[in-house]
Structure 1
Amino acid sequence: MTQPAGGKHHDNPAVADVTDVESRAVPASAATAPDSERVSRAVRGRAPTRAEWERREYLGIDHFAFFRGYLERLPLDKLADQYLETGFDLRMARSTLLWIQERLVAGARRAQDYRAARLLAIAPEQLVLETAAPASGGSATATTMPQAVSARRPSLEEFAEAHDPDGFYSQRELLELFAEHYPEAIPDRRAERNERLRRRQVAALRALQTLLAVEPAQHHHCAGWFHPVLARRLEHAGIVDLADLFDIITQRGPRWYTRVRGLGETGAKRLQQWLADHADALKRTLPAYALTPRRQLTHEARCAARQPVDGVAPLEWLVWPDFARAHPTSGESTSAQAASPWPERQIVADGMDGIDGTARTDARVPIRASAPSVDAIAIKRPTRAGNDVEAVKAWLAAMAAGLSPTTVQSYRQHAERLLNWLAFVRYRPLAAMTVEDCTAYRAFLAAPPAHWIAPRGTARFTAAWRPFSKPLDEPSVRLSMTVLRRMCSWLCAAQYLRFNPFALMARPRSDVFDTLHVERVLTDKVWDALETYWRPRAIHNASAERTLFALQLARTTGLRLAELARATVGDLRCTVLTNDGGSGDSGGRGGTVLWSLSVLGKGRRRREVELAGSLVRRIEAHLNGRGIAAAPGSTLRQIVADPALARVALIGRLPQVPASRTPVTASAAEGGPMAKEAQETTAENPAKRRMSLHAPLTPGALRQVIASGYRRAAQALGGESAQAASTLARATPHWLRHTFGTHALEHGAALEVVQKLMGHASIATTSKYLHPEKRRRAADMDKVFGG
């Protein structure tokens, strides 16, 4: 039977409650329009499209908790901070709220629970009682009701039976009629109804949680869990699924977020917390070392972080005897080899540790059970190394006394690459290596497989470490072969090996690489463009000032990167040449003042690098701008004379100050706001200020500073400077050293002088910078014989 337009609503009180609320408008004061004053600036770029929202497919327990708090009318910003990965961002919180509500309503409809769908579509603001205006001369509100009236007031159902037995009136018309007869009863009835609806909303939400809530898994896409804006940023950085997010945090450490454009430290910590909260479901946790700065990690913590894997490993964790297995019969293949993540690896044979290698001086000694102890073998040769790994470590330890730490690290890198290649490609000990192996290894260096490559900066103590960051170019291959030839020569001298297979390899002609020094130079035009870009920016920004100073110091001294990083105030030397030709220390008066920088170079050889007058003034201004001197405007001689400043790095770290108080530089006479920031940051502990805010950078960090200086200038330059931008895009920090040598010889400096300034052991190396002289000779020949 067809009912009237209004329907017999009072037969189902639950439906009547929902219908009544749906017909009411949301109070204007409670509307959820975006608050422009509180919208975060973190949301940049275009708004998410409908397709991007549809990719967000998973509802987790956090979303249900967030929506329940919304139903209870808790502050949205606090709910977002507690449950969402976007934090306090109200714009993202509101859009996420609408998405959750849409998913819940759609899920309820799929489950054919249409009552729950209608309940969850009701906004909490619609369940708020409006306070009626007090009557004239009275102060009672609409929510106040005398008990006597309440006792004799019928319910709405009873009123409907008495006044509308045929169900002619609609729900709204019946309510209006009821309000005319009992005006004081409406607010109380609405309060009861609203409370019933709230309980039903929560019950419906709990029921849907059992149906729709999903636990995250590592293979889930980030777009399925995170806000589309955040997922877009992660995907742009190559982070597609949650496993990728775990990997980049594990590999890059606490500052992994620098690889994701638009993501800051706060947002990164929220994502880390989200992964920690769901660690049980993801069946993976972030290791402690990934959340701790590497400088704060102890050796024990690094060793504990290393996870054994069936693959390549750094020299410290390459336990050679662990690879020994039974040698398979001819033509036999094993399941272990087929399942190995290293498909080129052969099955490990007995004697893998090198004890029975054909090139070993003690190869005649039987192996394994009848093999003599290490002590017995040590009697026959100078080293006690029992296998190839121990032999390489002994060689590095012996070389460390005469080499810089950077060179030792380079030697270790070349050696561990070879040992891993022997273990997982050739599968033979170092002593069994042949000339054919050397040739194959040379080709391998130029084109290693993709699973042998990891991003630069991957921590050695992580399972993600790999021997290569990219294929080696020809000069790097030549350097590797040279280092390995020296290593095997030492092992032969130590009577560990009988012959050196690398000694039989032809050495490439060095003149093939002479043109590299000609090409890898910043011309005067390129340098002017680079300096012009950074000069105005360095006036008001401490980071830009440090970048400009590092570029200028590197170009005008020709120091290597490690030498620049180690340079301190205590390395500056002041010599006064008196009028009678004598010399004195920095305390003398009168005469000519000469400045130099004492440098500890390769091979631990110390040299003096004379400084030009313009560079001396630049150093003085830079140090005053950093605020390290006891008094603003101090001269360089006063700064050097202070023994407390001897260990302050010439290129130091930036002071850690709030972003709203970015330090800037100023003239040496004023000390500069950068100096004021440094002094205010640690005014209570001047010694801490000097040692922490101005501690030296690592060579790797300094490389990033200079490389960033190139990159940012190249991106900004264009038009007439397009060629300079192209050169800077290809340049490396070492180009500044080439530029110094070329510039010095072009302006008439003697070859021997440049050799000493650059710290070359051989003058033949310095001669490679003589291409300006070659151009002059060619020009002279053109004049004589015609060009």
Structure 2
Amino acid sequence: MTKHHGAPANPKKGKLRQDRKLHRGHFAFMRALAQGLDERASWDRYLRLEGEHTDLRTVRRTIAWIRDEFAAAAKREHKPGTARLILLDPDRFASAPTLPSLAEFAAAQGLEDFSEAEQIEAYEAAYPTGGRGGRSGARPSRRARVIDHQLQALRWLEGLVVQDPRPSDSVAAWLNPSLAARLERAGVPTLVDLVDRVNGIGARWWVRVPGVGELKAARILDWLHANEQVLGLRVGPHVARPRAQLTRTALAAVVPAASALRPYEKFLLPPELDGSAGRFRAPRQKCLLTAANDHQAIGAWLAAQRSGGAEGDLSSTQRSYRKEAERLLLWSILERKKALSSLAEEDVIAYRSFLADPPPMWRGPRHHQRWSPMWRPLEGPLKPAALRQSQIILKSLFAFLTSQGYLMGNPFAAVALPTNPQRPLRSNRTLSFAQWNHIDAQLQEHADTETGRRLRRAVRWLHATGLRLAEITNVKCEDLEPIDYRIADGEAATDWMLHVVGKGGGKRQVPVPAKLVDELGDELARHGFARQVDAVSNRGIYVMARFNAELEWPASWSASGLSQAIKAFLARVAEGLNEVDAQQLKKASTHWLRHSRGSDALQVREGQTPIPIQGSAETTLGHAQIGTPSKYLATKRDERLSAMQGA
């Protein structure tokens, strides 16, 4: 079999390949080499997943491993001769000389004017074993015979050892060892895990796998597509397009509805457990709901929490309520094997224990969205405060169903709430003036791209306004209003007020620095919109808009996307700070910016006028009671204690 670049017989990294399996591509590539086909083209056609053909080290190691595996398989079948044959290099044997054609012979011998019969007679006299034309009776050379025997041996061996990949196979069995090792370190040990990861994240699934870039990811996808039928695993069409280009309909199609771990909207109730015959169902004639089963009853409860907004869009309260009802419904059906409307007091106690220690299959990172097959209802065990909140919400659910005549009673009413843990005042969940100055300086140096400017806009607006994450992602240009007023010395000034709809539909006005509104105007103009932010033509454009050229109209930055981007940015800018400040920034989140707004309002910098507590609570932060932001005063506590100690 043809050598390639002086391939060694025993690769040094053979141990990395001991679990690898031979596939049809290995045999096709080696047949191509044996027949003298172009090596690089054959590599790209059959073994592209292994790496670039220009990486000679990988090519040598791969060919050596294939040859050794072929020979070892032949020996296991007690075919030592075949094993030796496969390792033979046909180039060691001379090829049969190439004979001239009859016309070429005649021209060389000056026989052009002779008859064809005379030319043939002379040709056969010159090449007695060649036959007419020098080819029909030619005896194959030893090299040709070796190649032919090798091809026969490869066909025999392929039928003997080639396997099709299976979902449970390790990635190391089929992929390049170094590539497989990187996937395994990233938590992707099997082929089914690989397909789940690809489908679960989408086009840029490889970003979270260190050492795997876009090129290697493309090779992996090519291999998965080529083996889709034998694997029985399908990479969804959504993976071929960036997340920003996918519609809700396209994302909804990624995971089918089923009676399995699915979000509420995709969870199918088994007919025998749908609650239509639930143990505690009230008489139908007394029910005020049209719900025929437990899933629909939960939907009616969620709809009753609606406080406004577009149809189909859930408020933050509704999302929180859905999360708790969803978890209970899934647990009731999949773990307890009971309809939701059949749950009793003992089930409530068992569910609370479940939440305190859920099985691994129920857990997953928060950043996996509801459309993803990697979505899970829980991140991990719930802390006491979260357990208490969960029980309060579910108690409210069953109270609603009871009041509407759907159920006869509330199993949560008889179970005591978990002890309310004493929570700290969280005075440390704020940014100091020095930390904010550092962040703002880093924002100044951030990349001048649409993404970079959007991040800068988000951080500064959150810090300046104290808005909640759900609020900042929902405000639009028309929510901004210019206000003319006079400052203390009587001089006229113009600033902006932002009209915000907050928790429970409460409305408030929040002052916004004119500089931030000007920067937003610059961004609008940069993308072809009116420079004046409150222009009629800008109605419907979100303040946190993503000005993506591929979108017909700028969409709002999602709350989860904004949160992740800011958290990643704060972690990056933490580098180079002292240990205490660095740890603070690495733990910081968008809500810290809101806390910092309240703290700054009460502490103020030297030479600034403090904002009254009443104004900070009700106008800016949206708290209903003055006592809520008083926790920000705790940032002064240590200073007062230090002063007292010094005295």
| Residue of structure 2 equivalent to 1:225 | 174
| Residue of structure 1 equivalent to 2:621 | 758
Q: CA deviation at 1:414?
A: 0.6
Provide the secondary structure at the position in 2 that maps to 1:90: coil
Look up the equivalent residue of 1:557 and give its one-letter code. Answer: T
Mapping of residues 123-522 of structure 1, within 5 Å: 151-152=125-126, 195-286=144-235, 296=246, 302=252, 305-306=255-256, 308-309=258-259, 311-320=260-269, 322-324=271-273, 353=275, 355=277, 357-358=279-280, 360-362=281-283, 377=284, 379-402=285-308, 404-430=314-340, 433-434=343-344, 437-458=347-368, 460=370, 465-503=375-413, 512-515=422-425, 517-522=426-431
Residue pair 1:306, 1:462 contacting (<8 A) in 2 also? no
Mapping of residues 91-110 of structure 1, within 5 Å: 91=55, 92-93=58-59, 95-108=61-74
Residue pair 1:96, 1:227 contacting (<8 A) in 2 also? no
| Residue of structure 2 equivalent to 1:112 | 79
| Residue of structure 2 equivalent to 1:58 | 21
Q: Deviations over 1:505-559 (max 9, x none)?
A: 55678792352x31322233433444444543x1455544433332222222212
Residue pair 1:276, 1:286 contacting (<8 A) in 2 also? yes
| Residue of structure 1 equivalent to 2:584 | 727
Mapping of residues 761-780 of structure 1, within 5 Å: 761-772=624-635, 774=637
Counterpart Cα distance in 2 of 1:554 and 1:128: 78
Provide the secondary structure at the position in 2 that maps to 1:385: coil
Relative to structure 1, the CA distance from residue 237 to residue 401 in structure 2 (aligned partners, 3 Å threshold; closer, same or farther) is: same
Q: CA deviation at 1:452?
A: 2.1
| Residue of structure 1 equivalent to 2:563 | 703
| Residue of structure 1 equivalent to 2:433 | 524
Residue pair 2:483, 2:494 contacting (<8 A) in 1 also? yes
Relative to structure 1, the CA distance from residue 256 to residue 505 in structure 2 (aligned partners, 3 Å threshold; closer, same or farther) is: same
Counterpart Cα distance in 2 of 1:252 and 1:761: 39
Q: Deviations over 1:13-65 (max 9, x none)?
A: xxxxx9xxx9xxx9xxxx8489xxxxxxxxxxxxx961454335311111212
Counterpart Cα distance in 1 of 2:569 and 2:514: 24
Counterpart Cα distance in 2 of 1:618 and 1:463: 39
| Residue of structure 2 equivalent to 1:90 | 54
Asked if residue 598 in structure 1 is aligned to residue 499 in structure 2, the reply is yes
Q: Deviations over 1:696-718 (max 9, x none)?
A: 2211211221122133334xx15
Look up the equivalent residue of 1:712 and give its one-letter code. Answer: R
Q: Identity rate of aligned residues, in percent? A: 30
Look up the equivalent residue of 1:577 and give its one-letter code. Answer: Y
* Count of residue correspondences: 607
Look up the equivalent residue of 2:501 and give its one-letter code. Answer: L
Residue pair 2:466, 2:595 contacting (<8 A) in 1 also? yes
Relative to structure 1, the CA distance from residue 314 to residue 495 in structure 2 (aligned partners, 3 Å threshold; closer, same or farther) is: same
Q: CA-atom RMSD, angstroms?
A: 4.3
Counterpart Cα distance in 2 of 1:702 and 1:532: 20
Provide the secondary structure at the position in 1 that maps to 2:555: coil
- What TM-score do you get using the length of structure 2 for normalisation? 0.79
Relative to structure 1, the CA distance from residue 277 to residue 779 in structure 2 (aligned partners, 3 Å threshold; closer, same or farther) is: closer
Q: CA deviation at 1:468?
A: 1.2
Counterpart Cα distance in 2 of 1:50 and 1:198: 29
Counterpart Cα distance in 1 of 2:183 and 2:634: 48
Relative to structure 1, the CA distance from residue 381 to residue 601 in structure 2 (aligned partners, 3 Å threshold; closer, same or farther) is: same
Residue pair 1:402, 1:604 contacting (<8 A) in 2 also? yes
Q: CA deviation at 1:105?
A: 4.1
Q: CA deviation at 1:497?
A: 3.6
Residue pair 1:596, 1:611 contacting (<8 A) in 2 also? yes
Residue pair 1:220, 1:242 contacting (<8 A) in 2 also? yes
Counterpart Cα distance in 1 of 2:441 and 2:124: 85
Residue pair 1:402, 1:603 contacting (<8 A) in 2 also? no
Q: Please identify the structure whose Cα radius of gyration is greater.
A: 1
| Bigger mean CA deviation after superposition, 146-155 or 267-276 | 146-155
**Structure 1, unpaired ranges of 5+:** 1-17, 35-47, 132-140, 157-184, 325-351, 363-376, 583-589, 631-636, 656-677, 683-687
Q: Deviations over 1:707-741 (max 9, x none)?
A: 22133334xx15x5222222233223322222222
Look up the equivalent residue of 2:79 and give its one-letter code. Answer: Q
| Pick aligned residue for 1:566 from 457, 471, 474 | 474
Provide the secondary structure at the position in 1 that maps to 2:590: coil
Residue pair 2:457, 2:516 contacting (<8 A) in 1 also? no
Provide the secondary structure at the position in 1 that maps to 2:509: strand
**Structure 2, unpaired ranges of 5+:** 99-103, 110-118, 605-609
Relative to structure 1, the CA distance from residue 502 to residue 56 in structure 2 (aligned partners, 3 Å threshold; closer, same or farther) is: closer
Residue pair 2:255, 2:372 contacting (<8 A) in 1 also? yes
Residue pair 1:623, 1:650 contacting (<8 A) in 2 also? no
Counterpart Cα distance in 2 of 1:619 and 1:459: 29
Counterpart Cα distance in 2 of 1:49 and 1:652: 54
Look up the equivalent residue of 1:96 and give its one-letter code. Answer: T
Look up the equivalent residue of 1:90 and give its one-letter code. Answer: T
Q: CA deviation at 1:395?
A: 0.7
